[in-house]
Amino acid sequence: MDGSVVVLGSCSVCHVFAAAELPVKGETVIGSDYHIVVGGKGSGQGIVACRLGSDVHMLQRLGNDSYGREQKELYAKMGMSTEFVYLDDTAPTGSGGIFLDAHGQNQIIIVPGANGKVSRQDVDQLKPVLRKAKLLGAQLEVPVETVDYAIRLAHQTGVRTLLDPAPAAPLPKDLYPCISIIKPNECEAGELTGISVEDAESAFRAGEWLLEQGVKEAAVITLGEQGAVLVTREARQYVPGIQVPVVDTGGAGDTFAGGLLAALSRDWPLEKAVRYAQCASALCVTRNGSYALTRRDEVDGLFCRVYGEAAI
């Protein structure tokens, strides 16, 4: 296994409804498919990082219900540490409704459930593991104050941090200098910075704004099929999207983040890590299914074919 990664984040049982076109307000449409997948940004990113070789410790709250118990068992079967995956008796496992059209575009509603119960006290229990970790990955589907506390704690102990600020929410100004790498998509970058992000050039400006707030290393802004940009204090780099047949865009951003965590846990330089994450995300959109379908050999193979570089 590669370096130790702590993932603080959510888990949601997602009910997926597919139809040729999504309904507009007041409209009912007949769907073509329905299935259940277990998602949530923390869960997805942790599973992808694990499938791509990282030693993952998850900090999470699930409901003490059938969904929660099954998910904790799944983590353990994958080889993830579940010591800090708690089954909560006061709230159900988080849930979501995903509405998917024939073009692979989606709309999502999330109900937090037990995700909203993740606390500073839970983070305190994790301290011995966090101090030894290579990376902390976090998102904003659990309480922002808990994420804030965890990032500051990691910063104080010298642990690198990756924040995926989704769903976008205002961040305390003095938190930015504790974030090593921030990874919003174009919508989230726009909400955080006030800059309308539509292409690489506007993404560069948004990334520079984030660095001006104090982000330590880099801003990585994903642009969907257009690719991603990497902004550091030394350079601005555009990584084009990889052209693949799109089946379902759901999970692409979390797969990107999980791939980025995995690559960084191998001590790869940022540009190489972003390209690797792009490959993981590209493969994700070519199929329906769970994050557990991520395969290291497939991602490594695509990385070698696209970039002519071994994934070692």
- What secondary structure does DSSP assign to 202-214, as a single string? HHHHHHHHHHHTT
List the single range of 9-13, 37-41, 258-262, 307-311 with lowest mean pLDDT: 307-311
Q: Which domains does the chain have, with CATH numbers?
A: 2-24+32-307 (3.40.1190.20)
Whole-angstrom distance, CA of residue 111 vs CA of residue 113: 6
Which residues are bridge partners to 109 per DSSP? 97
Q: Identify the pLDDT of residue 1.
A: 59
pLDDT digits (tens, 9 = 90+) for 238-261: 999 999 988 888 789 999 999 999
* Residue 206: other Cβ atoms inside 10 A: 24
Q: Just list the catalytic residues.
A: 254
Q: Position 278: which residue type?
A: Q
List CB contacts of 307: < 8 A, sequence separation 6 or more. Answer: 275
Q: Identify the pLDDT of residue 103.
A: 87
Q: What is the mean pLDDT of residues 87-111?
A: 91
Q: Give the CA count within 13 Å in the CB-facing half-sphere of 181.
A: 22
List the single range of 101-110, 157-166, 276-285 with lowest mean pLDDT: 101-110
Does the pTM surpass 0.85? The reply is yes
Q: What is the mean pLDDT of residues 197-208?
A: 97
pLDDT digits (tens, 9 = 90+) for 21-35: 999 999 999 999 998
* Arithmetic mean of pLDDT over the chain: 94
Q: Identify the pLDDT of residue 291.
A: 86
Q: Which long-range contacts (CB under 8 A, 24 or more apart) does 211-214 make?
A: 213/173, 213/176, 213/177, 214/176, 214/177, 214/179
pLDDT level of residue 3 (50, 70, 90 thresholds): confident
| 289 pLDDT more than 80 | no
Q: Identify the pLDDT of residue 105.
A: 85
DSSP state of 241: P
Nearest to 147 by CA among 108, 189, 182, 187: 182
Q: What is the mean pLDDT of residues 201-219?
A: 98
pLDDT digits (tens, 9 = 90+) for 128-150: 999 999 999 999 999 999 999 99
pLDDT level of residue 109 (50, 70, 90 thresholds): confident
DSSP state of 293: G
